[in-house]
Amino acid sequence: MQRFNRLIAAVALIMAAAIIAVNLIMSKAPQQSKPLYKVELSRMEHELKDGKKVSAEDYPNILGIYEYDGNDDFFRSDNEYVIRTVNGNTYRIEYTDSEVQTSSALPIAVNIGMGGLCIFTLAVLLYIRRNIVKPFSKVSELPYELAKGTLTVPVKEHKGRYFGKLTWGLDMLRQELELSKQRDLDRVKKEKTLLLSLSHDIKTPLSAIKLYSKALAKGLYPDGEKQREAAENINTRADEIEGYVSEMIGELNSDVLTFEFSNTEFYLSEVIDNINSYYKDKLEVLKTDFHIAGYSSCLISGDPDRLEEVLQNIIENAIKYGDGGSISIDFSDEENCRLITVSNSGCTLSESELNHIFDSFWRGSNAGSQKGSGLGLYICRQLMCGMGGDIFAEIADGYMKVTVVCPKPQ
């Protein structure tokens, strides 16, 4: 902000200096003038040649017109004069050498023009300062505050046309980060409570297993029936521990992520146009053939932003794990649903792994050195379920095909 203020001051000083310099140059320049009598003499000669009668009264700078009559006094006069011979007649034309300054209005015009330019430039800079630089200086602090974890202070809304949507989006981001932080705290608390509870519950069967195993090791049960009974008790306690572990795994795997939806009705083209616009140039750079089949833009039920997120996740997987040959999007209808199928060439995933690709934190054998969390397709399934749809995958002729099932309005 201070830099821009200095810029405005510098521009004002430069323009003031320019105006002063131009005025100094004009003041030292020689004044140009044009004798008007010469123009009138030329005009008079043309009229005399045409046989017209001329009179000095018709010319402001001509004092008298005299025709030569043979008298020597013809060439004597107290006034400035010229001799002209027209159509065989000689004339003495007396004139006054008055001049008009042709450049007297120039400095005024130059000063008005430069002054107007200066005012316009300063007005533009002040407008930019008020509507762009000042709001931006306030907005620029928000990412830093969010990075520090200052999430409880609402972002003050700005109604300007340039940053109104940005501040609104940043406030939404702040709210989402705050909710996410709270959810993480709740999840950590839940997990710790669960672990403490399970560790307490596991102690009893674990102590029993240790007791029976020690007794068997020391031969305290010489009778075969007693040994069999101790072994069964160990197995029962082990099953009990296994049940606790399964419960813990189930709790930890449930609700890995939570999502919010704004389900409504929207046209399919709204999402597909965005996908095409985003990936057309990107895949062209990667030299991957990208094709979207023809389709009718029907109404879809769900959240358009979430559907776009699902398709982006699928296409990113296709880019990451395919061979880069081709990626296509096809459409079909089934009952009251529109099916969107994303296919990519170069699938190396085995059929036996296909049932696990939508599990959380699962990564296939074809992941190799590719970075990832194993949550992409899991998120896609959660999103489609939240919109009342579904998602499934199949492998056909070396192509990975992931199909999104989008419900139509009833």
**Per-residue buried b or exposed e for 247-258, using 16+ beta carbons within 10 Å of the residue's own CB:** ebeeeeeeeeee
Q: What is the DSSP letter of 133?
A: I
Please say if the pLDDT value at position 250 is more than 70: no
Which residues touch 385 (CB under 8 Å, ≥6 apart)?
none
Domain spans, the chain:
2-29+103-139, 33-101, 151-255, 264-407
- pLDDT of amino acid 301: 94
Pairing of strands 326-334, 337-345: antiparallel
Instruction: Provide the pLDDT for residue 214.
Output: 85
State which amino acid sits at residue 214. K
Q: Model's pTM, two decimal places?
A: 0.50
Angle at 393 between CA 276 and CA 273, to 5 degrees: 10
- DSSP letters of 67-105? E--S-GGGG--SSEEEEEEETTEEEEEEE---EEETTTT
Q: Write the pLDDT tens digit of every residue in 78-127.
A: 888 888 888 888 888 888 876 544 445 677 888 888 888 889 988 888 88
Residue with token string 């939240």: 386
Q: Tell me, what's the pLDDT at 291? A: 95
Give the range with max mean pLDDT: 38-42, 94-98, 391-395.
391-395
With left for phi above 0 and alpha for psi between -120 and 50, is residue 287 left, alpha or beta? left
The CATH T-level fold of domain 151-255 is Helix Hairpins (1.10.287)
Distance of alpha carbon 341 from alpha carbon 328, whole angstroms: 8
- Higher pLDDT among residues 147 and 340, named by residue: 340
**Per residue in 347-391, pLDDT tens?**
888 888 888 888 877 777 767 667 666 788 988 999 999 999 999
Q: What are phi and psi of 70, to 5 degrees?
A: 90, -10
Three-class SS string for 295-349? CCCCEEEECHHHHHHHHHHHHHHHHHHCCCCEEEEEEEEECCEEEEEEEEECCCC
Burial 107-146 (b: 16+ CB within 10 A, else e): eeeeeeebeeebeeeeeebeeebeeebbbbeebeebeeeb
For residue 51 the two structure tokens come to 């046989």
**Average pLDDT value for residue range 156-181:** 70
End-to-end alpha-carbon separation of the chain, Å?
A: 55
* In CATH, 264-407 is 3.40.50.300: no
Q: Is the pLDDT reported for residue 31 higher than 60?
A: no
Predicted confidence at residue 199, as pLDDT, reads 75
Cβ-proximal residues to 187 (8 Å cutoff; 6+ apart), any chain: 255
What's the mean pLDDT when you consider all of the chain?
82
pLDDT of 339 over the 90 cut = yes
pLDDT of residue 98: 60
